Structures are given as C-alpha cells and as structure tokens.
A and B are shown apart, each in its own frame.
Chain A
Amino acid sequence: MSKIIDAEGLTKTFPPSAKVVDGVSFAVEEGEVFSLLGPNGAGKTTTIRMLTTLTSVTAGEAFVGGRSVKREPGEVRALIGVVPQEVTLDNELRGIENLMLAAKLHHVPNPEAKERARELLRLVELEQSGNNRVATYSGGMRRRLQLVTALMHQPRVLFLDEPTVGLDIQTRTRIWDYIKRLNRERGLSIFMTTHYLEEADQLSDIVAIMDHGTIRVSGSPSDLKASLRGDVLSLSVNDGCTDLTELLRSIPSVTEVTRTDDSYRLKLPKVESALPAIITSIASRDIQITETSFSKPTLDQVFLEVTGRSMRDALESNGNGHGDRYVSARVSESK
C-alpha cells in the first residue's frame, strides 16, 4: 500500500494566538479510514482545512496523493472530495442539480455525470427525491446528498469533517453504513474528524487522538484499547474474610488484582478466556461468586490515559455544547 496522505510537522498559527495545530505528523495508507478524534478546539478542523487547501500551512508539509498542499493546491483539489461540517448544499436547487453542478466543476462529461448521479442517489437511497428541491429534504437526507456530492468526480480520498454531528442515532448509523460501503466496495481512502468515540471506533482503521493541537497517540482502535492492558473484571464473593488476592493473581493472564472487602477488580487481556479458570479457582476454596461484571476498554479510556481527562470532560471544558451528543453516542456504545 502507498501513502495517500503524508503529513510532516504540520503547523498552523493564527496570530497573535497560540498554535492551533502544533507540528502534527501522520500518514494515511491508500484504502484506509483514518480518524482524527478529539474534542472541539483540538485542531481537527484546522488540520482537515490545511489538507484540503482551504487554510494555508504555517509550517511543515503535507502531501495528498503525492501532491503538496502548499505548492500544488490545484492538483490536490482534483484528487479530493470534501464534506464539510455544515450542510452546504444549495437549497433552491434540486438534489440532482447539486450533483450535476459538482460534476461540472470537476469537468466530468455530462452523460457520465448523469449516470454517476443516478448511481450515487441510489447508493444513499435518494433516487426518489433526486428531482425535489433540497429545501424539502430532512436533515438526514441533506447529509446523505452532501456525502455523495463530494463523490461525483470519483476522488481518491474523501475528507469528512464531523460527518454525523447533530444527527439522530438512526441517521448516524445509516451514514456510517454508507461510509463503510464506500471504503470496502470502492476502496476509497477516507480521512475524517470526529468527537464521537463510537464513530471513530466503528469506522476507522487508524485513530489518532488529538488534543490541544497535537496528536497524542495513534493506532488501530483495537491496538489503542489493547494498550490499556486489557479488560476489567469486577466480582463480589460471599466471604469477605478470606483474601483471594494471591489466588487470583496466580491465574495466568491476570495482570492486576485490587481488593475492596468482598469485591475484587481484575485486569486481564481477555476476560472471556480467563473466566472459567477464575470461577474454578474461587470455587476450589468453597467460596461462591455473588456478582460479576466486566468492561471492555474504550477509546474514552484511551483518551483519558493519554490526555489525563475524559472526552466528556474535554467537551464540557471547551464549552462547545456537544457534551449531550457525546453522551448519547457513549450510551449507545455501551449497549
């Protein structure tokens, strides 16, 4: 695989304030879904704007499809599709007219553009509404149309800035499905920003956690979660007098045991594979387990680990009003 995006020391300063993006470096392989995860104000949108040539680069360099965003902005624009955070369709035009205008501006020949427009409207289930004015569309329909408007010229890389912000969970899930299909079926490389943990977790091959203008850690969602050294198993027993700490610690794969009265908190790579051994060991002491629960590591925990605060705290401290949306995403994540 070759690099579709390669950023080195990318920096943006808006004088006279501090650096908004402070020397970030990352690479996105062709066909990959790469997410920048972080609270609002982390520098995600500025990063995406530099990569899409909308904001100038103060220092560093980035290449998209092998073209420099600083020296070859026109060539970069021909390779990319951009879906901004706000819906920016023309409400007075019909759905199909928005698509055809995008095709025209990308120099797609008319017959080909018509064929692609039909196909893309079908992809996002808007073929029945394509001839209606966008003003009559629901918020979800507009997002779906906006997504495919950026695909009319068959870009090599699609940039999505907070693609589902403000959408209800059903619409969000549909958008996720389209993004997954575009990536899997068409091999489209996708670079997106999000502050939804679940979104980053579900869609991304690589997640880079961004905070205060810097990338704190990056990797696949599973690797990032695995870096927390596994699952957490909490259990309570019917005997608070016997200390089972050493017994539990002796079980292979249990890495950490903490006791509070009759309750224990175990850390282990994969709780499912160790659970039979744990139950058997405790039963061998004629002690019964009265309660168990376990949790898988989340990206929120990864965020907490690398930034010292949770995403919820970060969102609230930025006063961006997205805390409620974050909560709804997290609730669904725990289901």
Chain B
Amino acid sequence: MIGETWALGRRSLIKWTRNPFAVIVTSLQALFWLALFGNSFNPANALQSSASGSLGPLQQAFGGATTYITFLTPGVISIVALTGMSFMGVDLVFDRINGYLDVLRAFPIPRASIYFGGVIQNVAKGMVAAPITFLIALVVPDGLRLGQGFGVLNLVGIFATIALLTTVFSTFFTGIAISVKSTDSFFAAVNFLTFPIMFTSTAFFPLSFFPGWLKPIAQVNPISLASDAMRLLVVNGSLSASQTSAFIGDWVGLLAFGMVLTLVGILMARNALKAR
C-alpha cells in the first residue's frame, strides 16, 4: 500500500509544484496574517506602549512573548496549516467530478491508498508553508523574537508539532473532500468548519482573553494545542519541568485528536469509495 500511496501523493505534489501561483499564494498567506493582522490587531497598540510593538504589561498573559508577532507566529503557522489542509483537498473533489476517482477505483490498489495519498500530499504542502511563515515572522518589523538559548532542538520541536497538526487536519479534511459530490458542498463544509476552529483557538489571543464559557473549548482546540506547544519553544530557549509537561500535554491532546480524526476520515473515505 505504501508504494501506491506515495505514487498518488507524488502525483498531486508534481501538479502543485507546476502551478507556481498556488505555491506563491499559499506562502504569502502567512505574510498577510503577520504583517496586516499582526499590526492592526496588536494589543500593544491599544495600550499605547512606549516601545512600538512591545507588549509590556501584557507580556505575562502572552506567555512571555516580548512582541505580539512572537506570540502570533505559532498561531499563524497553525492557521495556515488549517486553511491549507482544508482547501487543498479540493483536488480530490475535482478528481471525483471529472471521473478520475472512478478510474482509481478500477485499479487493483487498496482504497485506503487513495485516501492516504491525499493525506500525505496535503501534509507535504503544509510543511512547505511552515518554514516560510517562520522566516517571514523573523523579518517583519517588530517581528519574531526568539527566546534565549533557542536552538536546533526547538526548531525540530516546532516542525514536529506542525507536522502533527497538518496530519490531524489533513486526515479529517481529506475524508470530507473524498466524500462530497460537488465543489459547492466542499467549500460550504470547509468554511463552516474552519472559521469556528480558527476563532475558538488561542492562535491570535491568549486564553485569558476568552470569556469563561469559551475557555474549555479554546483549551482543547487543536489549533490552541499546537500554537501553545510551539509558543513554549519559541519564547523559551530551554523548557522548565512545568513547561515540558505542558508541551507533552499539548502533544498528547494533538495525538488524541489525530487518532479520532483519522478514524473519522477513514470511515468517510471508505464509505465514499465503496461500490454502490
């Protein structure tokens, strides 16, 4: 099954790299989030902090981040993963509409390889966007300030977290893409799901900013789990024992989400690909 999955994933990646517009737009999405949202919604603006972009009194609420963009960058990496994973599945919708999915179903391959081929190509695309976002955050004014002692291990931890998050979302949205019959249904489902996931997360603001009733949702939101885990690595060079356990807790939460959403995705794909 691995050979077929890779062959199908590779097919989508070849197409993606041959369409520079899609690659550029995906990458620039992060720039808009950081440069526009990062400046216009910067809480430090409201407090009229003396140091431009500095959070000053809010630094504790923002997990020790010295600039809003330092706090925001892990959130933006997570949001780009969410929007990327959700919309990139559209290739599979077109495959269904133009009959390509039927052709694949006539091959002697496990049906699961069609699903996992979709998952891995989405994850690969998502992993291209993450380092670009990171680099943009470093160069924008009042941008990302890495914690003292930030090293290779922190970087590895950040990309491992984003790989896990993209996998979590990809498994779910690939299941949706393979199940729906039209692009209208797909975009309606994606829009319906992504906005609540985005705005009930701590991608843009810390948990303390949320009203009480929303806090439990925000705490278990996979975007929050991934953003918080990456923030620990960005803001702190080396993690203390309590930070390490918080990081592990975020990862356990993400893994649990991953298992549940993969199961949901597999069931959706299985149902969609069986002969009727």
Contact = CB atoms under 8 A, between A and B. Distances in A.
Same complex for A and B? Answer yes
Interface of A: 52-56, 73-75, 77-78, 80, 82, 84-86, 88, 90, 92-93, 97, 101-102, 104-107, 133
Which one of A73, A80, A85, A88 has the highest number of Cβ atoms from chain B below 10 Å of its Cβ?
A: A88
A187 B102 CA distance: 27
A104 B108 contact: no
Nearest to A77: B108
A181 B121 CA distance: 39
B3 A107 contact: yes
29 contacts: A52-B106, A54-B102, A54-B105, A54-B106, A55-B276, A56-B275, A56-B276, A73-B275, A74-B108, A80-B106, A84-B103, A85-B99, A88-B98, A88-B100, A88-B103, A90-B15, A92-B15, A92-B19, A93-B11, A97-B14, A101-B7, A102-B107, A104-B3, A105-B4, A105-B8, A105-B107, A106-B107, A107-B3, A133-B18
B112 to A, nearest CB: 13
Nearest to A102: B107
Contact of A86 (B7, B98, B104): B98
Contacts of B102: 54, 84, 88
Interface in B51-91: none
Interface of B: 3-4, 7-8, 11, 14-15, 18-19, 98-100, 102-109, 275-276
Given A90-B100, A93-B15, A107-B3, 10 more contacts: A53-B275, A54-B106, A55-B276, A80-B106, A82-B106, A85-B99, A90-B11, A97-B14, A104-B7, A133-B18
A288 B15 CA distance: 74
A80 to B, nearest CB: 7
A298 to B, nearest CB: 32
A105 B7 contact: yes
Contacts of A53: 105-106, 275
A56 B11 CA distance: 29
Contacts of B109: 105
Q: Which of B3, B7, B98, B275 has most A Cβ within 10 Å?
A: B275
B97 to A, nearest CB: 10
Contacts of B99: 84-86, 88
Contacts of A54: 102, 105-106, 275
Contacts of B100: 88, 90
A73 B107 CA distance: 10
A77 B113 CA distance: 15
Nearest to B104: A105
A105 B15 CA distance: 18
Contacts of A88: 98-100, 102-103
Contact of B275 (A55, A78, A101, A102): A55
Contacts of B276: 55-56
Nearest to A74: B108
Contacts of B108: 74-75, 77-78, 105-107
A61 to B, nearest CB: 15
Contacts of B107: 77, 102, 105-106
B116 to A, nearest CB: 14
A297 B105 CA distance: 41
A78 B4 CA distance: 14
B1 to A, nearest CB: 11
Which of B100, B103, B109 is most buried by chain A, counting CB atoms within 10 A of its CB?
A: B103
A73 B4 CA distance: 18
A93 B105 contact: no
Contacts of B15: 90, 92-93
Contacts of A93: 11, 14-15
